[in-house]
Structure 1
Amino acid sequence: MNSPASAKASPHALGGLRPFLSPYRGAIGLALLFLLLAAGATLVFPQALRSLIDGGLLPAHRDQQALALGQHFGALFGVAAALAVFSAARFYTVSWLGERITADLRDAVYAHVLDQSPAFFETTQTGEVLSRLTADTTLVQTVVGSSLSMGLRNGVMGLGALGMLVWTNPLVMGQVLLALMLIVAPSVWFGRRVRRLSRASQDRVADASAVAAEVLNAVSTVQANNAGLREATRFTAATEAAFQTAVRRSKARSVLVAFVIMATSAALLWGLYEGTQAVMRGRLSAGELGQTVVYVLILASSAAVLGEVYGDLLRAAGATERLMELLHTPPTLRNGHHVPASADLAAGVAIDFENVQFHYPSRPQQAALNHFTLQIAPGETVALVGSSGAGKSTVLQLLQRFYDVSPTQAIRLDGVPLADWDLDALRAQIGVVPQDAVIFSNTALENIRYGTPQATDAEVMAAAREAFADEFIRALPEGYHTFLGERGVRLSGGQKQRLSIARALLRRPRLLLLDEATSALDAESERMVQAALDAALNAGERQRTTLVIAHRLATVQKSDRIVVLDLGQVVEQGRHEDLMALGGVYARFANMQLLS
């Protein structure tokens, strides 16, 4: 997802945040008001200081002088108090905005990613997505909740101080202003380099995150193959690349900050020198010189802060660009509008594959299905058999509409093209038991209820009994309320699979997809689960269509029909006895397994 062109985007990429800022226009207006009041209080301070020097320190009667000093110091304290209140209000408001907008941005990106099809994840690593959700949004939060406010405040103060300096000594400050304008051009050139390096740095951090996510998700395999040191070395190389890029970015940013501060300070010191010469000539009073000194300091500090903020804005521009790139990635699947009538939900689905030719996006040269044609009647149980890579799992994935086929080809459910179905309505009718059971970091009860959140506890327990999972769940320390740990680490492989089967059965689906549902079970667990599945298939007047994928032919011998696939095509189909008598591909598979 990282393109060379994107590395050259301008800071205008921050404009992508506009939709997230617009709902909070009131809070933004309040923050700007507090910002202007705080900047105004700062700019009034030199005026109060000049009044103190020129009015409170003039020779006069001691009592009058004490009274005048008290009044002037009181005015100075009032300015300081106003500055404190307005600054605190500004800080709270912009911090709230930063947190709120960042949360909204994370929610939007995460929800958008969840809408993407598996084709998206074939080309995008999970670790990269997580990096954008964390590191990039944190950079945006820094800018919205701090840097942008500081930049605006210092910009207002700097312009105000510059205006006051030009008003008090227009000739000298006109020369200084011209010098400051000459500083802008090299600053912009440095800024572009910082932005490119910032984007590159964020990409390298995402690379390291992707490596870590991949390895941690397969840590058992890594350890079993003694690959810990090798993977640690690979991660070190990724983090070292990120470090070197960050060093180059920091070096360029340091040069930018140093140049801005040095050039600005030189210009302002020239103006201050001319101011002292004006006092010596009697053209300025001591109070006016003090006022000038403070305004010079305000302008110099504002310029320094703006240099820092500009660097933050450049980094945030790269982060925003990466987030918008992810957020604007269009879903590859178009949502249809067909929703089945309630009367249709009482029967299994009819399935029709017609001359389907399908290639996975990551393997465009290799056909996963090759002119695949298959019809399945409502309520029929069909077993898909074939060697690895024959296309069995592809059939199940296409039925769930994780991928779309060419518009010239057809996959129909109940006579309606799959592309015309509402995705939620389609998947609500499907129960899936994958080959690798997915268990979430939650209780056993919530894991079974994951696909049917409205189910009652009693319905969950009934589904667990169907899947022969009730007994082992009740034996857990807290029964159905036992926390199962990340990826179900507290369960055996067979227990995970039975929990997954219970989850699918709880949905009472019209279409049940079993992708090697018994592959992780021992002989006893397989017998129990197969018995539970047989009972579920025969219950309710067979109101369910079922597709079963299995290498263990004993689990599919009682199917209504066995379909044999090879190289993405149907090569044989029929009942077990008929296919054995045929002596073809299925018979060879069966004989090899029966003899093993």
Structure 2
Amino acid sequence: MNSSLKAFLSYYCPYRRTLFLDLLCASVVAGILLIYPLCAGYVTRTVLDTPGPGAWGQLVRVGLFMLGLLAVQIAANTFVDYQGHMMGTFIERDMRRDLFAHLQKQSFGFFDSRRTGQLMSRVTNDLFDVGELAHHGPEDLFIAVLLFAGVFVILLTLNPALTLLLFAFLPFMAAYAIYFNVRLNRALLQSRAHIADVNAQVEDTLAGIRVVQSFAGERLEQRRFNAENERFVHSRRAGYRADAFFYQGMTLFTQLMSIAVLVFGGLYILRDSLTLPELVTYLMCVGILMEPIRRFVNLARLLQEGVTGFQRFRELMRLEPEIRDTPDAQPMQKPRGDIEFRDVSFQYPGTPRPVLRNINLNIRSGEFVALVGASGVGKSTLCALIPRFYEVTGGEIRLDGTPIRDLTLESLRRSIGVVQQDVYLFSGTVMENIRYGNPDATPSEIIEAAKQAGAHDFITALPDGYDTDIGQRGVKLSGGQKQRLSIARVFLKDPSVLIFDEATSALDNESERVVQESLERLAAHRTTLVIAHRLSTVRNAGRIVVLTENGIAEQGTHDQLMQQDGVYAQLQAVGARL
């Protein structure tokens, strides 16, 4: 069995009972639809053609029987519509859950090369159509097959010659359907790709709306959006064209079948090889034959939309995370904080040369180390390798003597706190954002972390205190306030290793002073690495490591490096901001 089909069917496993009942009700519906023309044939043949004294009673009994069938049909259809749709929704939910969890396991490199809006489209739009296929696919196929087989048997019983004539249309219908389904599938894949591009453009523009408006770039963004929107329209045009030819072709074939039955059925009546009651039954069966054809057509549409969505879902799910736990990875308890780089090299995919080459560096537990160097020499990259945001391409990194590859990612990253210059806060309240450092923290622990970060006073001054909603990415707060919340989050996390990406460089003097004080409290008794963009911030570091394109050029205290009159002294001389 095809691996994709196996993967799709596996999502039915938790809902086997619902699927069974859904198909059972579908078979009841199909059976009842087949009984209706037989009842009509019975009435025309027995009750109306040769009416007797008990004809009225027979008619009433048949009518009551058909009303009972109708009640059962409505009940079965109600179950199929409601519970079947819910089953499809549950499967859609499960796929979306799995895809979201899978995306969260991907490395920074994965997200570096993909646009958020395109990923969002796969998580939302694509999986909606997969859910529709999961619901309607099995029942439509089941009902269509049962009806088709049942109608074929009844029609053969009534008039084999007319039935064979009728079914001679089917090969042509199948060839026509396959041809336009291939075109529809191609158009739908293009359409999904283009709507993902539209989503990506919207996400990109709205996320940067402050930059857009500050540069009066609305017209430029509108042109970009219009271009993506037109590409989407073009792909939809091709899809709708194939869709229209497909459905109208199916309508043409079904009407031709009805015309053929009327013409040749009348001819058989004239030749006394078919009675009028049989023709009535035959026509009703042909009418029912339109139902499986309609369901096959609907199934073809669902397959095109659902399969393309599932293909895009599987495309992402088949991408194994570049960085993951090794089979024998062990969780790390609270580490001391000794970090060792052993001949470490790193190169970004698709770039011509490594960013880092043969880095050897030992950082002792509790040491305060500053990384300085020209822009682009790999300071941030070096620090990103410690929590395995990226994987080294050569050498290894050890934490407390253990290779970080041998530690579980969760325990490794729980042991490391990162305070970045570009703070990311989530939509929600102040308390929710601080609690992100430790989801199990109590309100009193959160408040204590805020006090340590120098954030408690400004938080209590907010309209709703710790329950104040801070807006998308914390837009209602100043830069210093956002930075203090991010520091409070790290205080709550209580890591053994800290990484500061020059967290104060974008702040005003007063905010910088407050944030710097909280950072110093946070760094106490922890292994700390500071990525320095302003040399004035590293004068008091226990050790300064100077990076160049060729690796570590020199290291030591500020005074020692100034006496060496090397790279660091030259940077100080020009007052570099890195």
**Identity of matched residues, %:** 35
1:170 and 1:510 mapped to 2: Cα distance?
A: 84
1:129 and 1:212 mapped to 2: Cα distance?
A: 13
Cα deviations by residue, 1:418-464 (Å, 9 ceiling, x for unpaired)? 21111011011111101111101111111111021111212211111
Alignment of 1:166-315 (within 5 A): 166-315=156-305
Q: From the superposition, tell whether residues 594 and 181 of structure 1 become closer, same or farther in structure 2 (CA, over 3 Å).
A: closer
Q: Is it true that 1:588 corresponds to 2:575 in the alignment?
A: no
Aligned pair partner of 1:414 in 397, 400, 419? 400
Determine the structure 2 residue equivalent to 1:494.
480
Determine the structure 2 residue equivalent to 1:378.
365
Q: Secondary structure at the match of 1:331?
A: coil
1:13 and 1:498 mapped to 2: Cα distance?
A: 48
Quick check: 1:128–1:207 contact (8 Å CA) kept in 2?
A: yes
How far the C-alpha of 1:11 sits from its partner, in A, is 11
Determine the structure 2 residue equivalent to 1:394.
381
Q: Greater CA deviation, 231-240 or 263-272? A: 263-272
Aligned pair partner of 1:42 in 33, 36, 46? 33
How far the C-alpha of 1:368 sits from its partner, in A, is 1.5
How far the C-alpha of 1:78 sits from its partner, in A, is 1.8
Determine the structure 1 residue equivalent to 2:430.
444
Q: Secondary structure at the match of 2:298?
A: helix
1:260 and 1:155 mapped to 2: Cα distance?
A: 17
Quick check: 1:433–1:504 contact (8 Å CA) kept in 2?
A: yes
Cα deviations by residue, 1:459-480 (Å, 9 ceiling, x for unpaired)? 2111111111111111111111
Determine the structure 2 residue equivalent to 1:52.
43
Q: Is it true that 1:481 corresponds to 2:467 in the alignment?
A: yes
Determine the structure 1 residue equivalent to 2:418.
432
Determine the structure 1 residue equivalent to 2:115.
125
Aligned pair partner of 1:354 in 308, 333, 342? 342
Q: Secondary structure at the match of 2:26?
A: helix
Determine the structure 2 residue equivalent to 1:140.
130
Cα deviations by residue, 1:263-299 (Å, 9 ceiling, x for unpaired)? 2332343234322222333333332221111111111
Determine the structure 1 residue equivalent to 2:497.
511
Q: Is it true that 1:110 corresponds to 2:110 in the alignment?
A: no
Aligned pair partner of 1:331 in 321, 329, 332? 321
Aligned pair partner of 1:566 in 519, 527, 548? 548
The amino acid across from 2:379 in the alignment is K
The amino acid across from 1:124 in the alignment is R
Q: Which runs of 5+ in 2 are unaligned?
A: none
The amino acid across from 2:536 in the alignment is A
2:331 and 2:90 mapped to 1: Cα distance?
A: 40
1:249 and 1:226 mapped to 2: Cα distance?
A: 37
Q: Secondary structure at the match of 1:370?
A: strand
How far the C-alpha of 1:173 sits from its partner, in A, is 0.8
Quick check: 1:497–1:521 contact (8 Å CA) kept in 2?
A: no
Q: Is it true that 1:21 corresponds to 2:12 in the alignment?
A: yes
Q: From the superposition, tell whether residues 272 and 551 of structure 1 become closer, same or farther in structure 2 (CA, over 3 Å).
A: same
Q: Secondary structure at the match of 1:390?
A: coil
Cα deviations by residue, 1:198-254 (Å, 9 ceiling, x for unpaired)? 111111111111111112211111111221111111111111111111110111121
1:37 and 1:527 mapped to 2: Cα distance?
A: 76
Determine the structure 2 residue equivalent to 1:7.
none
Q: Greater CA deviation, 447-456 or 37-46? A: 447-456
1:530 and 1:60 mapped to 2: Cα distance?
A: 102
How far the C-alpha of 1:580 sits from its partner, in A, is 2.0
2:15 and 2:332 mapped to 1: Cα distance?
A: 42
Determine the structure 2 residue equivalent to 1:69.
59
Q: Greater CA deviation, 366-375 or 238-247? A: 366-375
The amino acid across from 2:359 in the alignment is F
2:125 and 2:523 mapped to 1: Cα distance?
A: 48
Quick check: 1:14–1:316 contact (8 Å CA) kept in 2?
A: no
Q: From the superposition, tell whether residues 39 and 12 of structure 1 become closer, same or farther in structure 2 (CA, over 3 Å).
A: farther
How far the C-alpha of 1:147 sits from its partner, in A, is 5.1
Aligned residue pairs total: 577
The amino acid across from 1:351 in the alignment is I
1:448 and 1:372 mapped to 2: Cα distance?
A: 35
Q: Is it true that 1:101 corresponds to 2:88 in the alignment?
A: no
1:469 and 1:568 mapped to 2: Cα distance?
A: 41
Q: From the superposition, tell whether residues 272 and 166 of structure 1 become closer, same or farther in structure 2 (CA, over 3 Å).
A: farther
The amino acid across from 1:467 in the alignment is A
The amino acid across from 1:134 in the alignment is T
1:213 and 1:535 mapped to 2: Cα distance?
A: 38
Cα deviations by residue, 1:65-85 (Å, 9 ceiling, x for unpaired)? 322221221122122222111
What is the TM-score of this pair, normalised by structure 1?
Answer: 0.92
Q: From the superposition, tell whether residues 79 and 281 of structure 1 become closer, same or farther in structure 2 (CA, over 3 Å).
A: farther
2:459 and 2:577 mapped to 1: Cα distance?
A: 36
Q: Greater CA deviation, 277-286 or 72-81? A: 277-286
Q: Is it true that 1:149 corresponds to 2:135 in the alignment?
A: no
Quick check: 1:515–1:550 contact (8 Å CA) kept in 2?
A: yes
How far the C-alpha of 1:150 sits from its partner, in A, is 3.1
Q: From the superposition, tell whether residues 469 and 568 of structure 1 become closer, same or farther in structure 2 (CA, over 3 Å).
A: farther
Q: From the superposition, tell whether residues 306 and 12 of structure 1 become closer, same or farther in structure 2 (CA, over 3 Å).
A: farther
Cα deviations by residue, 1:307-360 (Å, 9 ceiling, x for unpaired)? 233122112111110001111111111303444664xx3x63111112222111
Quick check: 1:439–1:496 contact (8 Å CA) kept in 2?
A: yes
The amino acid across from 2:367 in the alignment is E
Determine the structure 2 residue equivalent to 1:6.
none
What is the TM-score of this pair, normalised by structure 2?
Answer: 0.95
The amino acid across from 2:37 in the alignment is P
Quick check: 1:190–1:252 contact (8 Å CA) kept in 2?
A: yes
Q: Which runs of 5+ in 1 are unaligned?
A: 1-9
1:56 and 1:79 mapped to 2: Cα distance?
A: 20
Q: From the superposition, tell whether residues 447 and 243 of structure 1 become closer, same or farther in structure 2 (CA, over 3 Å).
A: same
Q: From the superposition, tell whether residues 215 and 341 of structure 1 become closer, same or farther in structure 2 (CA, over 3 Å).
A: closer
The amino acid across from 1:311 in the alignment is R
Q: From the superposition, tell whether residues 90 and 277 of structure 1 become closer, same or farther in structure 2 (CA, over 3 Å).
A: same
Q: From the superposition, tell whether residues 47 and 81 of structure 1 become closer, same or farther in structure 2 (CA, over 3 Å).
A: same
Cα deviations by residue, 1:87-137 (Å, 9 ceiling, x for unpaired)? 111212211111100000100000000000011112222111100111101
Aligned pair partner of 2:70 in 66, 80, 83? 80
